């Protein structure tokens, strides 16, 4: 891609500058800027935002981790391209949680979340809670919850370097004490201690008092700026600063924030790059600590690196389902065999059986063989009334499966639990997971069949909820037969292959011939068209105007497989790039979905400009509001760094493929973004969100000039009501918690119904609750969650809130993830203290060795759990008691024969030490050989002088980790972390507001 593709091209220059200048006068600022749009609003396109710092850090550590895995192949650029759409969605979840700290009413003005107003101790406590919560969630494999708390941690951590005087004190390394309480701390200035001098200009230089900017560690004091009017700013304290910080008028006037490069918003703008560099370094440090604590593979799963779609089966196990279960087994086995021969991880496998009244249990595993064993154990037993608890089973599948999953439901019964439809719909849309139904039942049949007992004649539309759910999520509802279910289930393999993209998703009820088109570009392979319904005529036309009647003839374009309920059409190679057309006729409902193989895809969300305490685009939760302006933000994934592709617009398409609205796109990237990114962020403005459901089609051109199109699988359902969760509490066993929410009515005065549901049964009342909301009014409410005393630490409770108008189809949803944490978690990591200073090495390294001895213990109450030698070419030896002054290893590095003999003695108990570690060995489980993990351990490390450094990792059972750095000739106190940088590199609505925004966009577009 061109190097300048990321800059806004205004053409006129000066008018846009003036309009943007006027626009930002209507916006306040606080914290590193939340996201890319903040730079535009503040005329600081070279500022580094929370979004940029977070994305770049995750990408760097992910690539670092992949390179560290043995036998890893591929260049850096190739690996970025192959990280997968799931990776960028996971990164987006972290960024979303980070930015939300600036947008949510419960956090945006609270100084504790932003290291403001000298609330340093409280902010550090909050940071450590976020760390504990993240680690608990990762260990419980609750990765979505972990990403949420990780984004919160990053926001507060990054704000410290922008809002404090850390940079001004001359510090060039990160403040370890923030997350490691045993590290040296710098005292915070007392409330009555002045910290700043008066400053009367937008740029404030040298406005900190001497002790606040002093490089002498003995006399340093830490301070952070006060923002706005709460809490009140004592006289002589520093302000946050900037044109809309009201506290800047109080003595001492001015401010110290380094949020941006704009002097209008950041009095210390000239130190922005230094602050951003330290924020990046601190973010990298946290990510590496997580990786080293949970392991490389778990770290990659946390960010869905190269993850294939999860295979999720929801299966009715009543007596009539023998053929369906057999078909599901066959497809599962075929997929597992295919993935076994492919590089990368096999993915997640999940099975939810249901048999009224039993639902579950959920079988979730990463082991294909274990999953097949669960499938083999399924038995079709018993009968039952025709309705089944199918939606309850789908709800379980959605809460346990990762985002972007493909869920396949095998049943022959209608839902008995229709009241859960809104909850299931909300979860499917929030996770962007597709739900496909394979039904072996004729919906028109209403008498007894297949051994099912029916108490009454059932409605022909009893499966309509299934059809609605599949349509809005991007799946299919297929009515087939026992004899065809095995063939029809081929759709499972079609949809769960890696890098599947959607090229067309339309529905038709026309009796006349309907015509639909889709485009194939040079990156697309293996194109398949799925059609459900009954075709009477179907003609496929290629870009070169060659046609084939699919029902009556074989031809050169495609191969048709016809089953009851499904037509599977595969384009034959070589597939011509360009516009393909399919014309079809039916006497009923048809659904067309065209999929293909390509790494190039996109993610998107709707957003609105916020002008509260932070400028930026706040993501719209749930469905967007119809009839009002909004921004559409897209991330194009899977582009090779050298691939010349451009994207001009998106088209909002109705259910039958008609164009509703076209939205022009601009790149949101700035010149500071990495030119090698394999994701491109685009933004467009909708003058008015449509009032009818639609899907999003992205249009651009590939490297050969062919039009490139991708279509969102799911359908957006605009509405006139919103629900916003105001706070997400941590759950403590044996205690109750409250979740507050707002209902915003964008229509006339009316009654609404609210339903709350959770997957663990912790809610006190589920509803429905009815209440009246005035025209354009709001309603604030809460739901209570009671966490049982037996709740397991780290478990995530998925809370789904759905609101529906009683007089119209308007509805919306919100999904919140709450984590169970212990009431008083152990946040103190182990310690390493020197028992003997390391010996000094001579200038000729290959003839000598060095040795260091230390004591490892746990400062908290959890006890030691494991140790690992992460780097270093020497040998680490562990003892239960202090080793003798002269160890049997001597001062010279042992030979290979001596090392093997020593291992033999260790195994047989012939030597007084108990364990021995080298680089590359897995972590040593202390409890397996130590008499008590609460007791300290003595460690001796011996290495050749040619390898002068080593790093030991120590964990306690609570998951806290300590890095112990070992160096030859080290005469000062043993330090747990290197003071060198890690090589990440320097990071070289008022009416007037909306009027100016519209004028700005008229120039941008």
Residues 349 and 469 in one domain: yes
127-136, 453-462, 979-988: range with lowest mean pLDDT? 979-988
Structure tokens at 266: 């950041």
Q: What contacts 24+ positions apart, CB below 8 Å, involve 469-472?
A: 469/394, 469/421, 469/424, 469/425, 469/428, 469/435, 469/437, 470/434, 470/435, 470/436, 470/437, 471/507, 471/591, 471/655, 471/715, 472/425, 472/428, 472/429, 472/693, 472/714, 472/715, 472/717
Residues 326 and 207 in one domain: no
How do residues 424-459 score in pLDDT, each as one tens digit?
Answer: 999 999 999 999 999 997 555 444 444 455 444 556
Single out the residue of 248, 104, 163, 110 nearest to residue 610, CA to CA.
104
> CA–CA separation, 280 vs 205, rounded Å?
24
Q: What's the gap between Cα 762 and its chain centre?
A: 25
Confidence band of 995 (pLDDT split at 50, 70, 90):
very low
* Cis previous bond, 361, omega within 30: yes
For 422, 676, 812, 885, 902, the CA distances from 914, given in Å and listed in that order, are: 59, 49, 61, 17, 11
* Cis previous bond, 768, omega within 30: yes
Contact 526, 597 (CB under 8 A): yes
pLDDT at 44: 53
Cross-strand pairs, 852: 941
Using a 10 angstrom Cβ sphere, with 0-12 exposed, 13-18 middle and 19 or more buried, the burial of residue 618 is buried
Task: Please tell me whether residue 667 adopts helix, strand or coil conformation.
Answer: strand
Contact 35, 97 (CB under 8 A): no
> CA–CA separation, 118 vs 531, rounded Å?
62
Question: What is the tally of structural domains in the chain?
Answer: 6
Residues 289 and 268 in one domain: yes
For 470, 477, 536, 592, 657, the CA distances from 514, given in Å and listed in that order, are: 22, 20, 12, 11, 10
Q: What are phi and psi of 73, to 5 degrees?
A: -110, 160
For residue 798, pLDDT beyond 70: yes
Mean pLDDT of 866-875: 91
Q: What are phi and psi of 784, to 5 degrees?
A: -105, 135
Tell me the residue length of the chain: 1005
What's the CATH code of the domain at 851? 2.60.40
Residues 554 and 648 in one domain: no
Q: What is the DSSP letter of 118?
A: T
For residue 611, pLDDT beyond 70: no
Contact 940, 882 (CB under 8 A): no
pLDDT at 9: 33
Half-sphere exposure (CA, 13 Å, Cβ side) for 652? 24
For residue 158, pLDDT beyond 90: yes
* DSSP symbols for 877-923: EEESSPPPSS-TT-SSPPPHHHHHHHHHHHHHT-SS--EEE-TTPPP
| Cα dihedral 139→144→149→150 (10° resolution) | 80
Is residue 978 assigned to a domain? no
Residues 525 and 490 in one domain: no
Q: Which of 676, 711, 746 is the last residue of a domain?
A: 711
For 295, 303, 448, the CA distances from 299, given in Å and listed in that order, are: 6, 7, 52
Structure tokens at 326: 């057999």
Q: What is the DSSP letter of 412?
A: S
Token pair 């097949």: residue: 372
Q: What are phi and psi of 845, to 5 degrees?
A: -80, -30
Contact 156, 175 (CB under 8 A): no
Q: Which of 302, 323, 356 is the last residue of a domain?
A: 302
**Greater model confidence, 34 or 944:** 944
Strand order in the sheet with 736-745: 721-725, 736-745, 778-786
Q: Is the dihedral of CA 989, 990, 995, 996 positive or negative?
A: negative
Confidence band of 5 (pLDDT split at 50, 70, 90):
very low
pLDDT at 889: 37
Mean pLDDT of 684-710: 92
**Greater model confidence, 344 or 569:** 569
Is residue 317 assigned to a domain? yes
Residues 799 and 667 in one domain: no
168-182, 339-353, 972-986: range with lowest mean pLDDT? 972-986
N-terminal to C-terminal alpha carbon distance within the chain: 21
**Greater model confidence, 766 or 482:** 482
pLDDT at 610: 80
Kindly give, in sequence order, each residue whose CB lies less than 8 Å from that of residue 224, ignoring residues fewer than 6 positions away.
115, 116, 117, 118, 119, 120, 160, 163, 164, 165, 238
pLDDT at 834: 80
> CA–CA separation, 331 vs 959, rounded Å?
39
Residues 270 and 399 in one domain: no
For residue 366, pLDDT beyond 70: yes
How do residues 37-59 score in pLDDT, each as one tens digit?
Answer: 555 555 556 788 899 999 999 99
Q: Where are the beta strands (DSSP E) in 621-711?
A: 630-637, 646-653, 659-664, 666-667, 679-686, 695-701, 707-711
Confidence band of 356 (pLDDT split at 50, 70, 90):
confident
Token pair 């006497």: residue: 587
Q: Domain of residue 329: give its range.
A: 310-497
Residues 352 and 470 in one domain: yes
Residues 703 and 794 in one domain: no
Number of neighbours of residue 155 by Cβ within 10 angstroms: 27
> CA–CA separation, 134 vs 157, rounded Å?
14
Using a 10 angstrom Cβ sphere, with 0-12 exposed, 13-18 middle and 19 or more buried, the burial of residue 905 is middle
What's the CATH code of the domain at 334? 3.40.50.410
Residues 148 and 89 in one domain: yes
> CA–CA separation, 653 vs 643, rounded Å?
28
> CA–CA separation, 95 vs 329, rounded Å?
39
What's the CATH code of the domain at 770? 2.60.40.10
Cross-strand pairs, 569: 529, 560
Counting residues of the chain whose pLDDT is more than 70, the rounded percentage is 83
Is residue 988 assigned to a domain? no
Residues 206 and 95 in one domain: yes
Is residue 786 assigned to a domain? yes
Is residue 973 assigned to a domain? no
Name the most confidently modeled range: 21-25, 382-386, 573-577, 922-926: 573-577
Is residue 691 assigned to a domain? yes
Single out the residue of 995, 683, 671 nearest to residue 19, CA to CA.
995
Q: What's the gap between Cα 687 and its chain centre?
A: 29
The DSSP H or E segment spanning 288 is helix 272-294
Mean pLDDT of 94-122: 92
Is residue 848 assigned to a domain? yes
Q: Is the dihedral of CA 359, 804, 730, 151 positive or negative?
A: positive
pLDDT at 572: 95
Is residue 621 assigned to a domain? yes
For residue 70, pLDDT beyond 90: no
Structure tokens at 793: 């630490």
Task: Please tell me whether residue 123 adopts helix, strand or coil conformation.
Answer: helix
pLDDT at 802: 96
pLDDT at 443: 59
Single out the residue of 352, 337, 462, 484 nearest to residue 408, CA to CA.
352
> CA–CA separation, 285 vs 980, rounded Å?
12
Q: Is the dihedral of CA 135, 430, 502, 491 positive or negative?
A: positive
Contact 58, 271 (CB under 8 A): no
180-189, 496-505, 843-852: range with lowest mean pLDDT? 843-852
For residue 539, pLDDT beyond 50: yes
> CA–CA separation, 654 vs 647, rounded Å?
21
Confidence band of 879 (pLDDT split at 50, 70, 90):
confident
Kindly give, in sequence order, each residue whose CB lies less than 8 Å from that of residue 441, ignoring residues fewer than 6 positions away.
412, 413, 449, 450, 463, 479
**If you compute the radius of gyration of the chain from its CA atoms, what whole number of angstroms results?**
31
Q: Which of 497, 527, 562 is the last residue of a domain?
A: 497
What's the CATH code of the domain at 590? 2.60.120.380
For residue 131, pLDDT beyond 70: yes
Mean pLDDT of 527-552: 94
Number of neighbours of residue 488 by Cβ within 10 angstroms: 23
Cross-strand pairs, 146: none
Residues 250 and 375 in one domain: no
Kindly give, in sequence order, each residue whose CB lies less than 8 Å from that of residue 364, ignoring residues fewer than 6 positions away.
348, 349, 350, 351, 400
pLDDT at 23: 39
pLDDT at 913: 57
How do residues 803-822 score in pLDDT, each as one tens digit?
Answer: 999 999 999 999 999 999 99
Confidence band of 920 (pLDDT split at 50, 70, 90):
confident
For 270, 469, 522, 569, 764, the CA distances from 493, given in Å and listed in that order, are: 56, 21, 23, 14, 42
> CA–CA separation, 77 vs 603, rounded Å?
21
**Greater model confidence, 527 or 360:** 527
**Greater model confidence, 400 or 894:** 400
How do residues 614-669 score in pLDDT, each as one tens digit?
Answer: 677 889 999 999 999 999 999 999 887 777 788 999 999 999 999 999 999 988 75
pLDDT averaged over every residue in the chain: 84
For residue 672, pLDDT beyond 50: no
Structure tokens at 802: 């759905």
> CA–CA separation, 829 vs 867, rounded Å?
13
H helical segments located in 605-668: none
pLDDT at 992: 39
> CA–CA separation, 455 vs 915, rounded Å?
69
């Amino acid at each position: 891609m061109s190097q300048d593709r990321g800059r806004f091209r205004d053409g006129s220059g000066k008018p846009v500058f003036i309009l943007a200048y006027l626009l930002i006068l209507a916006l306040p600022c606080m914290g590193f800027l939340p996201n890319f749009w903040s730079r535009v609003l503040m005329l600081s396109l070279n500022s580094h935002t929370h979004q940029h710092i977070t994305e770049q850090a995750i990408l760097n550590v992910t690539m670092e981790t992949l390179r560290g895995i043995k036998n890893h192949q591929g260049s850096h650029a190739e690996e970025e391209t192959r990280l997968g759409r799931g990776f960028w969605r996971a990164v987006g979840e972290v960024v979303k949680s980070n930015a939300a700290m600036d947008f949510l009413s419960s956090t945006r003005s609270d100084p504790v979340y932003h290291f403001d107003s000298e609330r340093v101790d409280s902010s550090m406590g909050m940071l450590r809670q976020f760390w504990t919560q993240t680690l608990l969630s990762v260990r419980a494999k609750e990765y979505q919850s972990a990403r949420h708390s990780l984004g919160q941690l990053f926001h507060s951590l990054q704000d410290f370097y922008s809002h404090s005087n850390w940079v001004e004190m001359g510090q060039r390394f990160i403040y370890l004490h923030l997350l490691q309480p045993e590290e040296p701390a710098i005292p915070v200035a007392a409330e009555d201690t002045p910290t700043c001098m008066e400053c009367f200009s937008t740029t404030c230089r040298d406005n900190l008092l001497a002790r606040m900017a002093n490089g002498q560690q003995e006399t340093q004091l830490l301070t952070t700026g006060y923002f706005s009017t709460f809490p009140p700013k004592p006289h002589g304290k520093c302000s946050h600063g900037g044109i809309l910080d009201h506290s800047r008028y109080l003595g001492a006037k001015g401010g110290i924030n380094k949020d941006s490069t704009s002097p209008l918003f950041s009095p210390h703008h000239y130190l922005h790059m230094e602050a951003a560099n330290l924020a990046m370094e601190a973010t990298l440090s946290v990510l590496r600590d997580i990786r080293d604590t949970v392991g490389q593979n778990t770290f990659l799963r946390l960010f869905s690196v190269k993850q294939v779609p999860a295979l999720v089966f929801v299966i009715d196990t009543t007596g009539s389902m023998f053929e369906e279960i057999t078909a599901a087994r066959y497809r599962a086995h075929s997929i597992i065999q295919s993935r076994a021969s492919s590089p990368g991880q096999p993915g997640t496998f999940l099975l939810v059986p249901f048999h009224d009244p039993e639902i579950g249990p959920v079988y979730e595993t990463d082991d294909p063989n274990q999953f097949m064993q669960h499938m083999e154990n399924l038995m079709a037993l018993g009968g039952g009334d025709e309705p089944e608890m199918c939606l309850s089973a789908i709800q379980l599948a959605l809460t346990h499966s990762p985002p972007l999953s493909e869920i396949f439901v095998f049943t022959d019964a209608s839902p008995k639990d229709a009241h859960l439809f809104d909850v299931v719909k909300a979860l499917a849309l929030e996770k962007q997971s597709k739900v496909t139904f394979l039904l072996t039942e004729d919906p028109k049949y209403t008498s007894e069949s297949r051994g099912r007992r029916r108490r009454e004649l059932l409605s022909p539309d009893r499966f309509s909820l299934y059809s609605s759910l599949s349509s809005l999520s991007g799946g299919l509802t297929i009515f087939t037969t026992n004899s065809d279910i095995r063939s029809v289930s081929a759709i499972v393999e079609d949809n769960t292959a890696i890098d599947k993209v959607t090229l067309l998703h339309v529905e038709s009820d026309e009796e006349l011939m309907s015509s639909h088109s889709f485009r194939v570009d040079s990156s697309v392979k293996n194109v398949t068209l799925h059609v459900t319904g009954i075709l009477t005529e179907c003609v496929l036309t290629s870009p070169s105007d060659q046609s084939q009647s699919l029902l009556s003839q074989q031809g050169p374009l495609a191969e048709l497989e016809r089953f009851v309920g499904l037509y599977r059409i595969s384009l034959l190679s070589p597939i011509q790039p360009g516009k393909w057309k399919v014309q079809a006729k039916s006497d009923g409902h048809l659904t067309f979905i065209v999929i293909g193989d390509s790494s190039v895809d996109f993610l998107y969300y709707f957003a609105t400009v916020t002008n509260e305490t932070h400028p930026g685009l706040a993501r719209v939760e749930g469905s967007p509001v119809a009839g009002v302006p909004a921004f559409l933000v897209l991330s194009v994934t899977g582009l090779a760094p050298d691939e010349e592709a451009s994207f001009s617009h998106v088209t909002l398409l109705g259910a039958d493929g008609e164009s509703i609205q076209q939205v022009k796109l601009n790149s949101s990237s700035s010149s500071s973004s990495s030119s090698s990114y394999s994701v491109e962020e685009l933004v467009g403005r909708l003058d008015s969100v449509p009032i009818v459901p639609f899907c999003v089609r992205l249009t651009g051109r590939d490297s050969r000039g062919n039009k490139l199109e991708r279509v969102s699988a799911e359908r957006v359902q605009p509405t006139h009501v919103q629900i916003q969760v105001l706070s997400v509490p941590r759950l403590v066993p044996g205690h109750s918690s409250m979740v507050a929410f707002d209902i915003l009515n964008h229509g006339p005065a009316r009654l609404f119904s609210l339903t709350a549901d959770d997957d663990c049964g912790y809610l006190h009342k589920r509803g429905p609750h009815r209440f009246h909301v005035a025209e354009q009014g709001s309603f604030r409410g809460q739901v209570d969650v009671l966490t049982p005393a037996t709740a397991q630490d780290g478990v995530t409770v998925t809370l789904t809130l759905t609101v529906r108008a009683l007089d119209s189809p308007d509805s919306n949803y919100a999904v919140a993830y709450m984590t169970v944490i212990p009431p008083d978690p152990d946040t103190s990591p182990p310690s390493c203290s020197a028992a003997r200073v390391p010996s000094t090495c001579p200038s000729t390294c290959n003839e000598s060795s060095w040795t260091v001895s230390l004591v490892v213990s746990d400062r908290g109450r959890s006890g030691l759990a494991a140790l690992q030698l992460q780097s270093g070419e020497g040998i680490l030896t562990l003892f239960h008691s202090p080793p003798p002054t002269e160890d049997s290893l001597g001062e010279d590095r042992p030979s290979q024969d001596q090392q093997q003999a020593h291992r033999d003695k260790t195994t047989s108990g012939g030597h007084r030490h108990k364990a021995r570690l080298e680089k590359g060995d897995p972590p040593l489980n202390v409890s397996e050989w130590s008499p008590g993990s609460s007791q300290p351990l003595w460690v001796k490390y011996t290495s050749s002088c040619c390898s002068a450094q080593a790093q030991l990792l120590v964990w306690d059972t609570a998951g806290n980790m300590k890095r112990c750095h070992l160096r030859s000739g080290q005469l000062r106190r043993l330090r747990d972390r290197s003071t060198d940088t890690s090589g990440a590199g320097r990071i070289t609505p008022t009416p007037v507001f909306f009027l100016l925004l519209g004028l700005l966009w008229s120039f941008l577009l």
